[in-house]
Amino acid sequence: MTDVSKIFAPGGVLSQTIDGFQPRPAQQQMASAIAAMNDDAGVLVVEAETGTGKTFAYLAPALLAKTDDGERKKVIVSTGTKNLQEQLFHRDLPRIRDALAPDAIVALLKGRSNYLCIQRMDQFISQPIKHDPAVALQLQQQSRVVKYWANQTRSGDLGELTELAEDAIILPQITSTADNCLGRDCPAYADCYLVKARQEALEADVVVVNHHLFFADAVLKDTGFGELIPHADLVIFDEAHQVPDIASQYFSESISTRQLQDLAQDMRLLYGTELKDLRQLSTVADQLDKCGRDLRLQFARDPERGNWREQMRRAQVIEDSERLADTLDRAQAIAKAALGRNKVLDQCYERLVLLKARWQQLTNTQRSGYSFWYETTPRQLSVHQTPLSVAEKFTSYMLAQQMQWVFTSATLAVNGSFKHFTDRLGLGSAQTLVLPSPFDFAKQAMLFLPRYLPAASDPTMAASFAAIAKQLIAHNHGGTFLLFTSYRMLNQVAAILQEQESSDRLILVQGRTSKRELLDQFVDAGDAILLGTSSFWEGVDVRGDALRLVMIDKLPFAAPDDPLLQARIEDCRLRGQNPFQDVQIPQAVISLKQGAGRLIRDALDTGVLVVCDNRLVQKEYGQTFLASLPAMSRTRDIAQVTEFLSKD
């Protein structure tokens, strides 16, 4: 294999071929560490801080890796979100591939709900279901847009259809799920976009996926296609700090009332079209639908999450659960009696068997080793069983796959230790590497911890936060991010600023338009104020003066009623450890590092980070947070901050 460190060295291939490429020792070190992973199933965990250039550092060895037979290694690169996946595939990967391995084949693979399902689209058009007029009109308009695009698309990737909102009501009608896809029995199989995307992924040397798809695939053997993601020699997780939570979700068992509704709809459709003699099918489908709705009605109107074990002590919930179990049983018997008459019916039968078994599991809440929880949306209820720890499941999956694994992110270590991350995935023997940022944080950035703040939960906190924000913004000739841990606080501060801010600076508030649109407006304005919650704490890259001030309302401890957190706390207690020390603090440190990481994105960036939480200085654990942040100069004196911000 080519010596990968030479590629990154001054005067190396990348300096010669990529405009603006700057050799960075940390990048070279990371690339060399990946290239040196020779053993059969090595695991490398790398914290590569902002500015190290980790994307090229893993893409270069990925493109150049060869097996012992001299063949290109098959590599899966998994990113945190679909947006990052597209950015990697369309922007970073082509640049480095052209420079290093122009003949390497690369592919982008998304989850099945991202591809047009020709079969369901045909069904939707030829057998329209009655809806109320407003919904029918929306569906009609959206269907026109989809049909026009469907005639031209090559990939069937619905991401191309930018005119369609992400939550457009037509989407479930024209995409498939593992439940309703007909697989090889599908009349449209030969033209199926998902099959083609999977085929391209099979033939590619480097496949770009996202963590959700990776784990859905690892856990769920898709009916009809088997696994979507091909086997690989090397898997690289970017934004790897998200992996443990996402893995927990997918190693969970869940049922949503939405699945019951979808199944009931397919059964009614069958009765209305091809199995007109099976009136019982339609009757039991209505009952199934009603069971789902009745269960949802047992919960408050507003969305909530909570402990399912506790709910299963309520007489009415028990009664509705039993009725659902009976109805699934009856529906299964009706479908079984007609097996072999119709492929869709056979598939409905399989779904009923699965749902019945799963519902039995989810209502048997006495078993230990799991967290049982539920979540509601305005119309749906979903019930989940999450293992207290995924370490065992994940390590056995890793062993079975015999691949090499790289986990990287700018935020993996807590006070220099990876234990918090590696314990969750069972990666105790992994090789670890911390690559410091090349930025001069002491000169480029200042950390301000304001004095005389009320307690984080004090009702006057919003007013205090807004007063400090106003004072600092007045001296900031660039843009400002105000990052919150709750919508309540965001809305209170937004109301105060909108009433009192007398300058003509643009104030942008999360939720009023899409995230993309808000960010575009923020960058264009150059000195805007953006108020956001969790989705702005990570994956946002604003360089230069457009972002010079980041204010955080309090330490980002996760809400104690978060079911995934509760599962981890329970697991930690069972191991005899201290949940606050070993679970809650590390989680909040990683989140704070993410939020703080929005500020300095470039060697020329300067700016101030403000954290409005007394606990940073008053509590002993505050030190763990401070030691995990980049080494910025630190002050409690607002005059020093305004002076720093006033500089050009």
Contacts with ligand SF4 by CB under 6 A lie at: 117-120, 176, 181-183, 186, 188-189, 192, 194
- Number of CB atoms found within 10 A of residue 551's CB: 25
Query: Looking at beta carbons only, is 187 or 303 nearer to ligand SF4?
Result: 187
Select 120 or 384, whichever has its Cβ closest to ligand SF4: 120
- At closest approach, how far in Å is the CB of 126 from ligand SF4? 14
Query: Please, what is the minimum distance in Å from the beta carbon of residue 154 to ligand SF4?
Result: 16
Backbone torsion region of residue 210, taken as left when φ is above 0, otherwise alpha when ψ lies between -120 and 50, otherwise beta:
beta
Please name the residue that has the structure tokens 């053993």.
Answer: 39
- Smallest distance, ligand SF4 to C-beta of residue 381, A: 27
* Contact call for residues 476 and 530 (beta carbons, < 8 A): no
**Cβ proximity to ligand SF4, 113 vs 256, nearer residue:** 113
Structural contact between residues 533 and 510, judged by C-beta atoms closer than 8 angstroms: yes
Question: Which residue's CB is nearer to ligand SF4, number 112 or number 212?
Answer: 112
Pairing of strands 607-611, 549-552: parallel
Cβ of residue 405: shortest distance to ligand SF4, in angstroms? 30
The 10 Å Cβ neighbour count of residue 136 is 13
Residues 6+ apart with CB under 8 A from 199: none
What are the angstrom distances between the C-alpha of 524 and each of 256, 544, 548?
Answer: 42, 12, 14
> Which H or E run includes 78?
strand 75-79
Residue 118 Cβ, how far from ligand SF4 at the closest point, in Å? 4
- CB-nearer residue toward ligand SF4: 266 or 605: 266
Task: In angstroms, give the least distance from the CB of 173 to ligand SF4.
Answer: 12
Token readout for 218 is 């690892």
For 176-295, strand residue ranges (E) read 206-210, 234-237, 253-256
Q: How far apart are CA 323 and CA 337, in angstroms?
A: 21
- Shortest gap between Cβ of 194 and ligand SF4 (angstroms)? 5
CB-nearer residue toward ligand SF4: 120 or 598: 120
Tell me how far, at minimum, the Cβ of 624 lies from ligand SF4, in Å: 48
* Nearer Cβ to ligand SF4 (174/383): 174
Amino acid identity, residue 261? Answer: Q
Q: Identify which of residues 171 and 182 has a Cβ nearer to ligand SF4 in the complex.
A: 182
Quickly count: other Cβ atoms within 10 Å of residue 330's Cβ. 16
Q: How far is the CB of 369 from ligand SF4 (least distance, A)?
A: 35
Q: Which two three-digit tokens encode residue 542?
A: 């604003």
CA-CA distance, 156 to 159, in Å (whole number)?
A: 9
Q: How far is the CB of 161 from ligand SF4 (least distance, A)?
A: 17
- In the bound state with ligand SF4, the residue whose beta carbon lies nearer, of 183 and 436, is 183
Q: How far is the CB of 224 from ligand SF4 (least distance, A)?
A: 6
Please, which residue, 192 or 410, has the CB nearer to ligand SF4?
192
Both tokens assigned to 362:
């989810």
CB of 61 to ligand SF4, least distance (A): 35
Q: How far apart are CA 102 and CA 13, in angstroms?
A: 13
Q: Across-strand partners of 33? A: none
Q: Return the number of the residue (216 or 626) whose C-beta is nearest ligand SF4.
A: 216
Q: Is the dihedral of CA 176, 180, 182, 188 positive or negative?
A: negative
H or E element at residue 181: none
Q: Which is nearer to ligand SF4, 74 or 112 (CB)?
A: 112
- C-alpha 90/C-alpha 21 separation (Å) is 18
Nearest-angstrom CA–CA distance, 630 and 616: 15
CB atoms within 10 A of CB 603: 12
Contact between residue 413 and residue 628 where contact means Cβ atoms under 8 Å apart: yes
Residue placing its CB nearer to ligand SF4 in the complex, 119 or 408: 119
Enumerate the β-bridge partners of residue 608.
446, 549
Cβ atoms of 322 and 256 within 8 Å: the answer is no
CB of 516 to ligand SF4, least distance (A): 28
Which H or E run includes 311? helix 308-311
